[in-house]
Chain A
Amino acid sequence: MDIKNETLHYLGYTGQSLTDEEDRRIDEAIAEVIEVARPMTVHRVFPLSREEKRLSVPAELDLNYSSLHELLADAGDVLILAATLGLELDRRLRYYARIDASRLVIMDAAASALVERVCDKLQEALPFDSYTFRFSPGYGDVPLLLQKQIVRVLETQKRIGMTLTRSLLMVPQKSITGIVGIGGASKKRSCMGCALFENCEFRKRGTVCYATKEQMPE
Chain B
Amino acid sequence: MLRNEGTNARIILREKLGKELLVFDGAMGSQLHARGSLPGELPEECNIDHTDWIVDIHANYLESGASCILTNTLGSNRFHLEDSKYSVREVIDAAVYNGRAAIERERSRCEREGIDKECFLFFNIGPLGQLLAPIGTLSFEDAYDAFAEQVDLVKDSVDGVLIETMSDPYEIKAAVLAVKEHSDLPVLACMTYDANGRTLTGTTPEAAVTLLEGLGVDGLGVNCSLGPKELVPVVEKILAVACKPVIVEPNAGLPVYTDGKTSYNVTVEEFATYIRGFVESGISAFGGCCGTTPEYIRACLQELRDTPFVPRVNASQTRVCGPTDCVRIGDRTVVCGERLNPTGKKKLKEALANHRLDEVFSEAIAQEKAGAHVLDVNVGVPGIDEAQTMTEVIRGLQEIIRLPLQIDSSDPEVLERACRVYNGKPLINSVNGKQSVMEAVFPIARRYGGVVIALTIDENGVPDSADARVAIAERIIKTAASYGIDKSDIIVDCLVLTASAQQEGALQTLEAVRRVREALGVHTILGVSNISFGLPNRPLINKTFLGMALYAGLDVPIINPLDRELMGVIDAFEVLSAKDRDSTDYVRRHAGDINTAVQGSYIDTNRTVNDTSSGASSHDESIGALVRSGRKDIIARAVERELDDSQPLSIINELLIPALREVGDLYEKGTIFLPQLISAAEAAKTAFGVLNERIVSEGKSEGKGPVLLATVEGDIHDIGKNIVKVVLESYGFAVVDLGKDVPTNKVVSAALQYRPKLIGLSALMTTTVTSMKKTIEALKDIPDICPVIVGGAVLTGDIARGIGADFYAKDAMETVAIAESLISGRSREQE
Q: How far is the CA of A166 from the CA of B768 in the complex (A)?
A: 10
Is A157's beta carbon under 8 Å from chain B? yes
Interface size class of A (residues with CB under 8 A): 35 or more
Central interface residue in A12, A16, A157, A195, by most chain B CB within 10 Å: A157
Residues of the B chain whose Cβ atoms lie less than 8 Å from the Cβ of A102: 630, 675-676, 678-679, 682
Complex contact A173–B716 (CB within 8 A): yes
Q: How far is the CA of A170 from the CA of B263 in the complex (A)?
A: 28
Interface size class of B (residues with CB under 8 A): 35 or more
Is B167's beta carbon under 8 Å from chain A? yes
Complex contact A21–B200 (CB within 8 A): no
Q: How far is the CA of A3 from the CA of B170 in the complex (A)?
A: 34
Residues of the A chain whose Cβ atoms lie less than 8 Å from the Cβ of B137: 165-167, 169, 171
Q: Which among A14, A94, A101, A144 is the interface contact of B682 at CB below 8 angstroms?
A: A101
The segment from A38-46, A115-123, A128-136, A181-189 that touches chain B is A38-46
Is A35's beta carbon under 8 Å from chain B? no
Is B723's beta carbon under 8 Å from chain A? yes
Complex contact B719–A104 (CB within 8 A): yes
Q: Which among B201, B670, B795 is the interface contact of A87 at CB below 8 angstroms?
A: B201
Complex contact B810–A199 (CB within 8 A): yes
Residues of the A chain whose Cβ atoms lie less than 8 Å from the Cβ of B533: none
Is A203's beta carbon under 8 Å from chain B? no
Complex contact A60–B38 (CB within 8 A): yes
The segment from B85-93, B126-134, B208-216 that touches chain A is B126-134
Is B409's beta carbon under 8 Å from chain A? no
Residues of the B chain whose Cβ atoms lie less than 8 Å from the Cβ of A196: 793-794
Residues of the B chain whose Cβ atoms lie less than 8 Å from the Cβ of A87: 131, 135, 200-202
Q: Which among A16, A20, A160, A166 is the interface contact of B130 at CB below 8 angstroms?
A: A166
Is A163's beta carbon under 8 Å from chain B? yes
Is B722's beta carbon under 8 Å from chain A? yes
Is A6's beta carbon under 8 Å from chain B? no
Central interface residue in B224, B362, B682, by most chain A CB within 10 Å: B682
Residues of the A chain whose Cβ atoms lie less than 8 Å from the Cβ of B40: 59-61, 149, 152-153
Is A213's beta carbon under 8 Å from chain B? no
- A136-167, CB under 8 A of B: which get 1 and which 0? 00100000100011011100011011011111
Is A168's beta carbon under 8 Å from chain B? yes
* A98 → B minimal CB distance (Å): 5
Is B827's beta carbon under 8 Å from chain A? no
Is A69's beta carbon under 8 Å from chain B? no
Main secondary structure, interface of B, reads loop
Is A191's beta carbon under 8 Å from chain B? no
Which residues of B, 579-631, contact A by the 8 Å Cβ criterion?
A: 617, 629-630
Complex contact B362–A169 (CB within 8 A): no
Is A32's beta carbon under 8 Å from chain B? no
Residues of the A chain whose Cβ atoms lie less than 8 Å from the Cβ of B764: 169
Residues of the A chain whose Cβ atoms lie less than 8 Å from the Cβ of B224: 158
Is A65's beta carbon under 8 Å from chain B? no
Complex contact B630–A60 (CB within 8 A): no
Is B136's beta carbon under 8 Å from chain A? yes
Q: Which among B39, B358, B716 is the interface contact of A169 at CB below 8 angstroms?
A: B716
- B206-238, CB under 8 A of A: which get 1 and which 0? 000000000000000000100000000000000
Is A55's beta carbon under 8 Å from chain B? no
Q: How far is the CA of A47 from the CA of B764 in the complex (A)?
A: 34
Q: How far is the CA of A93 from the CA of B718 in the complex (A)?
A: 11
Q: How far is the CA of A170 from the CA of B723 in the complex (A)?
A: 21
Which residues of B, 748-793, contact A by the 8 Å Cβ criterion?
A: 764-768, 771, 793
Is B204's beta carbon under 8 Å from chain A? no
Complex contact B796–A199 (CB within 8 A): yes
Q: How far is the CA of A38 from the CA of B722 in the complex (A)?
A: 25
Complex contact B39–A60 (CB within 8 A): yes
Is A90's beta carbon under 8 Å from chain B? yes
Residues of the B chain whose Cβ atoms lie less than 8 Å from the Cβ of A151: 129
- B658-688, CB under 8 A of A: which get 1 and which 0? 0000000000001111111011011000000
15 pairs from A and B in contact (CB 8 Å cutoff): A11-B674, A11-B675, A16-B671, A87-B202, A90-B135, A94-B400, A97-B718, A98-B361, A98-B362, A101-B722, A105-B719, A144-B765, A161-B200, A163-B131, A173-B716
Question: What residues of chain B have their CB less than 8 Å away from a CB belonging to chain A?
Answer: 38-42, 83, 127, 129-131, 134-138, 165, 167, 192, 194, 196, 200-202, 224, 257, 260, 358, 361-362, 365, 399-401, 617, 629-630, 670-676, 678-679, 681-682, 714-719, 722-723, 725-726, 764-768, 771, 793-796, 810
Q: A166-B714, A173-B717, A195-B794 are in contact. List 16 more A-B contacts (CB 8 A).
A: A11-B675, A22-B630, A45-B260, A94-B134, A97-B719, A102-B675, A104-B722, A106-B675, A152-B42, A163-B127, A163-B129, A165-B136, A167-B715, A168-B765, A168-B767, A173-B716
